[in-house]
Amino acid sequence: MLKFHRALAMLAMLLFPFHPAGAAPGAVVRTDTGAVRGERAAGLDVYRGLPFAAAPLGELRWREPAPLAPWPGVRPATAFAPACMQQGVSMPGETPPAVSEDCLYLNIWAPARRAGRPLPVIVWIHGGGYNNGSASMPLYHGDALARRGVLVVTVAYRLGALGFLAHPELTLESPHHTSGNYGLLDQIAALRWVRRNIAAFGGDPRRVTVAGQSAGAMSVSALLAAPLARGLFQRAIAQSGGIFEPLQLAPGYRLDNAERDGAAFAAARGAATLAQLRALPAAQLLGNGAEALAHPLVDPHVLPLTPYEAYVQGRQHDVPLLLGSNAEEARALVDVAGVTAAGFAAGVERSVGALPPALLAAYPAASDEQAREARLGLERELRFGWDMWAWARLHAAAGGRPAYYYSFARRPPFPAASVYAGWGASHFAELWYMFDHLAQAPWAWSDGDRALADNMARYWVNFASGGDPNGAGLPRWPAFGGADPADQLLRLEAPIRAGGVEQLERLRVFDAVYDGVRGRPFGAR
């Protein structure tokens, strides 16, 4: 009976597709598995909820994304699909999305169809720590960027234990002798779908930019090292996230350790066999330790080398790179109100584990005020700043395509009474600007904010178009790695200006510590 009702609902969607107010039915587009119809509004064609792989249900749970079955007729693409299974939200203030295990869908914003050269494509991978996030979050909508001449594609991927569980039995059944990384495989499947189908929507499959923020940027770093992703994109954008620390500091990223953690996760849920684990309701696979499993891992099939090792060995995908981080990343992530000088070291250890004395010494905390600033600075460099600097240097040393490195320093006018109060130029803050979505928030935006949003959107679109963010009327963005140490990055503020790498001495302390862990200098072959 349930199947009958689902079939009836699908028939109703096919006969009477829903179109939001102010939108008209869009043109029919034929994909390799069937025809779809989105909607046309304000000069854009928008397609929501396009499947790019079979629903990962039942026996397809914890398997590589499977091909779609073709459908008859014209499938409506006017409603977002549910997000992948998760708890909580990817950023404060976000409305929790509807969720489902059937979640492998993508969305497209495209300029209204016209004759002429195919347009560049930006494929956006959302953040959320691999535990939450949504491809339909309004902040990620591609309408403003699409009006500048690109197609924007937002993709979903499996999260948490459903996206990254490794387990000995899963490895045994795999033809590739591995497990985990299902979320990365979903991203690769979406990129393959784009390569096969995006021309039908007006996009250029030879000018695809993979982009992401936070965990999405970490995914970009993994995709640059993933052999399965070779040729699927021609540029890369990474905002506040990368995977470049020594693997010795993250033993859970190794397959054998991840399998052990996965077996303990299954036992804690009373699942003695893989069949029992697959039979559990998806909601029982959330929380209670699932968060610790949510990360990529080094495995023989998807990610045989860490991004660091791929660069050192010259096996990364050689594409132009735009990357950076925010000047006050940690203000959105760490509450330092209770940090004191006396409890500084103990608080850091509770948060991130024991750190080498040299790292702690780089962040003096003689007074409570200094301790609070030290904690914010440490979290900023530890989680974001060093990774992006290391990534830029590795990319430049590889001697291939250029890297364009930024620091976002603009403090948005977050209201004092809002959930964002006191954030400053924090994690997430650049998103309102680069998506040109200031209008989504009714705050006291200034002319400087609007100019910065316009310029950032232009930089991002220029980069997607030709691999270089520079263009007429924009402040010059120097490529990273030039001879002038004061001309290494672009400081995104009002006004925009080029400058040197910030917190350089502290970043060098991280280098020294990580060199000791690796047993070799940074980047040495």
Contacts 24+ apart (CB under 8 A), 481-488: 481/392, 481/393, 481/396, 481/397, 481/403, 488/405
For 369, residues 6+ apart whose C-beta sits below 8 A from its C-beta are none
What kind and span of H or E run contains 489?
strand 489-492
CA distances (Å), origin 212, targets 227, 257, 365, 438, 472: 19, 27, 34, 19, 26
* Catalytic option among 39, 64, 329, 379: 329
Structure tokens at 250: 């993250």
Question: How many residues appear in the chain?
Answer: 525
CB 186 within 8 A of CB 216: no
Active site residue 136: no
- Partnered with residue 25 across adjacent β-strands are 39
> Of 427, 437, 465, 502, which residue is the catalytic one?
427
DSSP structural state of residue 99: B
473 phi and psi, to 5 degrees?
80, 0
Q: Is 465 a catalytic residue?
A: no
Active site residue 141: no
What does the angle CA 501 – CA 503 – CA 504 come to, to the nearest 5 degrees?
60
Angle between helices 504-518 and 386-398 (to 10 degrees): 70
Q: What's the CA gap between 2 and 321, in Å, rounded?
A: 48
CB atoms within 10 A of CB 254: 16
409 close to 327: Cβ distance less than 8 angstroms = yes
Task: Count other C-beta atoms under 10 Å from residue 500's C-beta.
Answer: 13
Q: Which of 244, 518, 219, 514 is CA-nearest to residue 390?
A: 244
CB atoms within 10 A of CB 60: 16
d(CA 412, CA 429): 7
User: Residue written as tokens 């040495």?
Assistant: 524
Burial of 505 (0-12, 13-18, 19+ CB in 10 A): exposed
**How many Cα atoms occupy the beta-carbon half-sphere of 337 within 13 Å?**
4
Of the candidates 90, 134, 179, 214, the residue annotated as catalytic is 214
CA distance from start to end of the chain: 62
Whether cis (ω within 30° of 0) applies to the bond prior to 51 is no
Enumerate the β-bridge partners of residue 40. 24, 45
Q: How many Cβ atoms are within 10 Å of 81's Cβ, its own excluded? A: 23
Q: Which residues are catalytic?
A: 214, 329, 427
